[in-house]
Structure 1
Amino acid sequence: MERREYFGTSGIRERVGEGLTADLALNVGRALADDADRVVVGRDPRESGTFLLDALAAGLAECGCEVVDLGPAATPTVARSVAWRDADAGVSVTASHNPSEYNGLKLWQPSGQAFDTPMQEEIVERLVTEEFDYAAWDETGGRREWPGARERHVAAVVDAVDVDPADAPSVVVDLGNGAGTASVDALVELGCDVETLNAQPDGRFPGRPSEPTAANCESLCDLVASSDADLGLAHDGDADRMMAVTGDGAFVAGDALLAVFAQAFAGEGDTVAAPVDTSLLVDDALADVGADLVHTRVGDVYVAERAAEDDVVFGGEPSGAWIFPGETLCPDGPLAAAKLVELVANGPALGERLAALDRYPIRRDSREVADKSAVMDRVRDAVHDAYDDVDTLDGVRVDLGDAWFLLRPSGTEPIVRVTAEARSEERADEVFAEAEQLLDEAV
């Protein structure tokens, strides 16, 4: 098999029938079985997930690995079930927030952490050489279901928070036609009055696009605003992400929600991990409680790697992936939903918490490019020639003192993302235009 970049920032993710085929899923199963005796598998509601999961399971069993099949399941349910079933690894067949024509394979360790870079490289090497350790005819692996996975996940979420049912808020949950029903079950058990939106699992995502952005969650905002709900919550297709809406129907920007979580769960001397595109408001929120922010590469894999270290009490991405290392190292949308409900139940309300934060104008855009690697090479050369404080941890981040900008290639799509932030609207526009001009010239 040819060598290519199989793994992006969130596992293997490609268009079905093009970069991602049953053949690839079969070989990933074979490759993974080399280091595993038991593997947990599950999938989001996408139609293509059925045959991809079957192919994956066949490759695992063919090489002697026992397969624990959760069927349709949220990605955090799969990740957490690796330890619960005493397995060696887990695989979610999901493209998460991507459109329905995509699917993917995300690999999990028993800790709940996604496969790190060295582990991914081992899988890629086996995919390239196609040197698999096939089992004898009478030593192949079996495949069995575990119908109790969601219930175990719900119980874990409920146990992780402290909510007096008398104070539990009224919540609208937009599941986005995805796999996040564990979130609803957990909130009901906590005593919340729950109304659902787009609750029917459907991999075509007819209710709204899978990614829970402000533009895609307008119906949720309208419903919360026109009801007595205290809070709105939204998941993506596999429920590893969670975004929120205040009681008056305002969508909460990811950086602001990250700041709320960070300030609530970090204290004096603690560290919070977040990617290089995180707003300055998170730094300021943490400074108020004596905690620090450490930057990582963009992607929950990298946030989780840093969150695995003892000094980190919380990790998150503005895209909606939240990691509570005391519970699990996977982004867990239902857990994040329950944690936010806990904060609201114990006061103050989400809107009040947001009002107490500083706000800085941040600009974000994406540009489709034909060759993102070549474009980024040209950007990197130009930036090093023109600026002094340059960070190339992930993409190119330039610190201008009173502002910063970042040009970074997507790990899953042929695009370059542009981000800029300053302490005034005029300066933010100026810096953003500066960054876009750099990209224009590189393209």
Structure 2
Amino acid sequence: MSLMISVSGIRGIVGESLTPKNLTAFAMAFASWILRRKDDRTKRPRIVIGRDTRPTGKAIGDLVSNVLVLCGCDVIDLDIATTPTVEIAVTSECADGGLIITASHNPVAWNALKMLNHLGEFLTATEVDELLAIADREQFCPAGWDHIGAITHDDRYDDLHIEKILQLSFVDTAAIAKEQFRVLVDCVEGAGYAVVPKLCRKLGMEHIVPVACGGSGLFPRNPEPIEENLSATIAGLKESGCDFAIVVDPDVDRLALICEDGTLFGEEYTLVACADFYLKKHSGAVANNLSSSRALRDIAGRYGVECYSAKVGEANVIEVMKEKSVVIGGEGNGGVILPELHYGRDALVGIALFVQAFTHWRTTNSNGSLSAFRKEFPDYVMSKQKTTLGKTDRSSLENILTDIALQYPEAESNALDGLKLDFASSWVHLRPSNTEPIIRIYSEAPSKKEAETLADKLKRDIEKRTQGH
């Protein structure tokens, strides 16, 4: 498999597509990109680095740190840290950029360099293009022997991140503590293994049952926090008698919740519940991406505010959030973005928002269960499918999608990111993958059958045009 390159950085299988050679090249390109953008050339650039717990993380971190130093950068090494913690550290340190060594929800054989700008945000598409041009032309800027940088280590940022969350106006630890929640916490042996249980206790949840919180980096299951991967966690929750389970991915930018009866609250509904609570405190627009649940739009309607949808991808959602002055947003994969704290998907602030929302609901629903709380929100079901492009050239795909849109005049069509067709009670999103020759087909409707029927119909429409079926 070839190296995957996007606004989220470079990603691949260690020893195959992700090698010492390309790690070195991209680290040099990143340092050179930082140097070119720096106004004050008399000061060495400062770059924050953190990593998840994968067995390859330290070796990659050491390699990349030394490359940056030899390019004249000072490195602030946080060691094991969540993605949102590194993002916060970049701005707190007034650094020029950041690197996170994590392949997020990919299996353990994978790793990656996620690249941040001086705002602690993922590089924009334009910034990625600038960096790739430097790498392609090998326009690197190594430092002379007397201008190399230095590495310092800083282990404060887990606590600083937690403290920033506790200082948010909506957090009421006394109210949470009064509920005496028993909570199972599954960190899949990732970067959240220590900080997530610590945050839960600081929020007022003393009764924690930790699962996969040893920090080994050897994931006991597929690390993506979706239902098909969580059967053992669900069984553990039922056996423990906990009130609910908190599940994060290896770099802690996605949050999933499991109800007391073993049903999933739904990754699409993490943001929905958080936004519903936050809008009670702060009026303003919300945002998600085009493949996220319509439930957020319904919640926005309850509060009389706008709901904007961006192209898929955290950087795209953040761009819309800034443009439209959105107060809370994110993506339907359990990613919550709260500008009051920082612009980045953050499962830690998501935990605080969600638990506070559940606590607030229980003030008028004494001892109510999480499964009952879930019924407070609009109920939709999603279907997620895909189909190959066959021999169709990507340049022809736009015409194919336009043709399909004309076939459904009753739907509101949106061509911002592939094609989204919005029907009265359902929608379907046809989106070409940036990394594979496939089209993703996401649909949502009031029932599973309706969602799957809609997805199947559009899948046939595409295949008839791309594969001659």
Please report the TM-score for the alignment, with normalisation by the length of structure 1.
0.91
Matched, 1:407 2:421: no
Question: Conserved in 1, the CA contact under 8 Å of 2:191 and 2:215?
Answer: yes
Question: Conserved in 2, the CA contact under 8 Å of 1:23 and 1:55?
Answer: no
| 1:306 CA drift (Å) | 2.1
Q: CA separation in 2, counterparts of 1:151 and 1:144?
A: 18
Residues 370 and 97 from structure 1, CA distance in 2 versus in 1: closer, same or farther, beyond 3 angstroms? farther
**1:233-264 deviations in Å (ceiling 9; x for gaps):** 10111111111112332211122222212211
| 1:219 CA drift (Å) | 2.2
Residues 320 and 23 from structure 1, CA distance in 2 versus in 1: closer, same or farther, beyond 3 angstroms? same
Residues 428 and 6 from structure 1, CA distance in 2 versus in 1: closer, same or farther, beyond 3 angstroms? closer
Question: Conserved in 2, the CA contact under 8 Å of 1:115 and 1:301?
Answer: yes
Question: Conserved in 1, the CA contact under 8 Å of 2:381 and 2:451?
Answer: yes
- Higher relative CO (Cα under 8 Å, sequence separation at least 6) belongs to 1
| 1:423 CA drift (Å) | 3.9
Q: CA separation in 2, counterparts of 1:47 and 1:5?
A: 20
For 1:266, the aligned partner's letter is L
For 1:214, the aligned partner's letter is E
Q: CA separation in 2, counterparts of 1:410 and 1:209?
A: 21
Number of matched residues? 439
Q: Which moved more, 1:74-83 or 1:260-269?
A: 260-269
Residues 413 and 328 from structure 1, CA distance in 2 versus in 1: closer, same or farther, beyond 3 angstroms? farther
**1:251-284 deviations in Å (ceiling 9; x for gaps):** 1112222221221112586211101012222211
Q: CA separation in 2, counterparts of 1:413 and 1:334?
A: 31
Q: CA separation in 2, counterparts of 1:440 and 1:416?
A: 10
Match of 2:338 among 303, 315, 324: 324
Matched, 1:225 2:245: no
Q: Which moved more, 1:18-27 or 1:99-108?
A: 18-27
Matched, 1:435 2:443: no
Name the counterpart of 2:12: 14
Name the counterpart of 1:203: 217
Name the counterpart of 2:384: 364
Name the counterpart of 1:60: 68
Name the counterpart of 2:39: none
**1:188-224 deviations in Å (ceiling 9; x for gaps):** 122212111111223331x221101111122222232
Residues 6 and 200 from structure 1, CA distance in 2 versus in 1: closer, same or farther, beyond 3 angstroms? same
Match runs of 1:159-174 below 5 Å:
159-160=167-168, 161-164=171-174, 165-174=177-186
| 1:439 CA drift (Å) | 3.4
Name the counterpart of 2:416: 393
For 1:284, the aligned partner's letter is D
Residues 194 and 125 from structure 1, CA distance in 2 versus in 1: closer, same or farther, beyond 3 angstroms? same
**1:134-188 deviations in Å (ceiling 9; x for gaps):** 2111001111211222222222233332221333522111001111021111111
For 1:66, the aligned partner's letter is D
Q: CA separation in 2, counterparts of 1:432 and 1:413?
A: 19
Match runs of 1:231-246 below 5 Å:
231-246=244-259
Please report the TM-score for the alignment, with normalisation by the length of structure 2.
0.86
5+ residue gaps, structure 2, are 36-44, 363-367
For 2:195, the aligned partner's letter is A
**1:282-337 deviations in Å (ceiling 9; x for gaps):** 21122112122100111222122222346201112111111111001111112211
Equivalent position SS for 1:232: strand
Equivalent position SS for 2:100: strand
Query: Percent identical across equivalent pairs?
Result: 28
| 1:369 CA drift (Å) | 5.9
| 1:129 CA drift (Å) | 1.1
Name the counterpart of 1:188: 201
Q: Which moved more, 1:117-126 or 1:354-363?
A: 354-363
For 1:407, the aligned partner's letter is L
CA RMSD of aligned residues (A): 2.5
| 1:381 CA drift (Å) | 4.9
Equivalent position SS for 2:145: coil
For 1:42, the aligned partner's letter is G
Name the counterpart of 2:188: 176
For 1:397, the aligned partner's letter is K
Name the counterpart of 2:38: none
| 1:86 CA drift (Å) | 2.2
Matched, 1:380 2:366: no
Question: Conserved in 2, the CA contact under 8 Å of 1:168 and 1:341?
Answer: no
Residues 199 and 314 from structure 1, CA distance in 2 versus in 1: closer, same or farther, beyond 3 angstroms? same
